[in-house]
Chain A
Amino acid sequence: METYSYLNIFETKGLEYILLILFMIMFVFLYRYTKAGIKNDRD
Chain B
Amino acid sequence: MNSSATTTTKSSQQGLFAFLLSQLKPRGKLLTPFNIISVPVMIAGVIILYIRFTQGLGATTNLSQTNPWGIWIGFDVVTGVAFAGGAYIVTFAVYVMKMEKFHPIVRATVLNGFLAYMFYAGALVFDLGRPWHVINPIIGNSFGYNSVLFLVAWHFMLYMLAELIEFSPVVMEWLGLKRARRIANGLTLAAVIFGVSLSSLHQSGLGALFLMAKPKIHPLWYSEFLPVFFVVSSIFSGISMVIIESSISHRVFKMQLGPGSHEKLDDIIIGLARGAAMAMFVYYFFKALIFIHDGQWALMHDGWGMWYLLEVLGFVLVPMVMYAYGARHRSVGIIKFAAGMTLIGILLNRLNVSIIAFNWNSADTYVPHWMEIVVTLTVVFAEIWLFRWIVCRMPVMREPGKIGSPNREREMRSLN
Which residues on B sit within 8 Å (CB–CB) of A10? 295
Question: Which residue of the partner chain, among A19, A26, A37, A41, contacts B289 with CB atoms under 8 Å?
Answer: A19
Interface residues in A1-43 by Cβ distance below 8 A to B read 10, 13, 15-16, 19-20, 23, 26-27, 30-31, 33-38, 40-41
Set of chain A residues within 8 Å of B271, measured between Cβ atoms: 38
Question: For window 322-347 of chain B, which residues contact chain A by CB distance below 8 Å?
Answer: 324, 327-330
Among listed B45-53, B239-247, B277-285, B365-373, interface-contacting one: B277-285
Complex CA distance for A12 and B413, rounded to whole angstroms: 77
B288 located at the interface, meaning its Cβ lies under 8 Å from any Cβ of chain A in the complex: yes
CA distance A41 to B331 in the complex (A): 12
Q: Is the CB of A36 within 8 A of B293?
A: no
Given contacts A10-B295, A26-B281, A27-B281, whether A34 and B288 have CB atoms under 8 Å apart is no
Instruction: Name A30's contact: one of B270, B273, B281, B330 (CB within 8 Å).
Output: B281
Contact of A19 among B281, B288, B327, B330 (CB under 8 A): B288
In the bound complex, CA of A23 to CA of B281 (Å): 9
Find the B residue at minimum CB distance from A18: B292
Given contacts A41-B267, A41-B330, A34 and B278 within 8 Å (CB-CB): yes
Cβ A38 vs Cβ B274 within 8 A: yes
**Do the beta carbons of B277 and A30 come within 8 Å of each other?**
yes
Q: State the CA gap A27–B278 with chains docked (Å).
A: 8
B288 neighbours in A (Cβ, 8 Å): 19
Q: Is the Cβ of B270 less than 8 Å from the Cβ of A15?
A: no
B328's nearest neighbour on chain A, judged by CB, is A37
B residues less than 8 Å from A23 (CB atoms): 285
- B-side interface residues, number (CB < 8 Å): 20
B289 touching A33 by the CB < 8 A rule? no
* Contact in complex: A33, B328 (CB < 8 Å): yes
User: DSSP majority for the B interface?
Assistant: helix
CA distance A31 to B328 in the complex (A): 10
A18 CB → nearest B CB, Å: 9
Smallest beta-carbon distance A11→chain B, Å:
10
Chain A residues touching B, majority SS? helix
Docked-complex contact A30 and B328, CB < 8 angstroms: no
Q: Which of A19, A20, A37 contacts B270 (CB 8 A)?
A: A37
Alpha-carbon gap, A31 to B267, bound state (A)? 17
Q: Mark B258-276, 1 if CB is under 8 A from A, else 0.
A: 0000000001001101100
Closest residue of chain B to A30, judged by CB?
B281
| Measured CA separation A41–B394 after assembly (Å) | 32
A30 to B281, CA, bound (A): 9
* Chain B residues with CB below 8 A from A41, complex form: 267, 270, 330
Once the chains are docked, how many angstroms separate the CA of A35 from the CA of B295? 35
Q: How far is it, in angstroms, between the C-alpha of A33 and the C-alpha of B320 when the chains are bound?
A: 13
Tell me, in angstroms, the Cα distance from A15 to B278 when the chains sit together: 22
Instruction: Assess whether B327 is in contact with A34, with CB atoms less than 8 Å apart.
Output: yes
Looking at the assembled complex, report how far the CB atom of B404 sits from the nearest CB atom of chain A, in whole angstroms.
27
> Is A37 a contact partner of B329 (Cβ separation < 8 A)?
yes
- Tell me, rounded to whole Å, the shortest Cβ–Cβ distance linking B390 to chain A: 32
Chain B neighbourhood of A34, CB < 8 A: 273-274, 277-278, 324, 327-328
B289 touches A38 (CB 8 A): no
A33 to B274, CA, bound (A): 10
User: Using Cβ atoms and an 8 Å threshold, which residues of chain B touch A31?
Assistant: 278
Residue of A nearest to B278 (CB): A30
A38 touches B270 (CB 8 A): yes
Residues in chain B near residue A26, CB distance under 8 A: 281
Name B residues whose Cβ lies closer than 8 Å to a Cβ of A.
Answer: 267, 270-271, 273-274, 277-278, 281-282, 285, 288-289, 292-293, 295, 324, 327-330
Given A30-B281, A38-B271, A38-B327, 16 more A-B residue pairs with CB atoms under 8 Å apart are A16-B292, A19-B288, A19-B292, A23-B285, A27-B282, A30-B278, A30-B324, A34-B273, A34-B278, A34-B328, A37-B270, A37-B274, A37-B329, A37-B330, A38-B270, A41-B270
22 residue pairs from A and B, CB less than 8 Å apart:
A13-B293, A16-B289, A19-B289, A19-B292, A23-B285, A27-B278, A27-B281, A30-B277, A30-B278, A33-B324, A34-B273, A34-B274, A34-B278, A34-B324, A34-B327, A36-B328, A37-B329, A37-B330, A38-B270, A38-B271, A38-B274, A41-B330
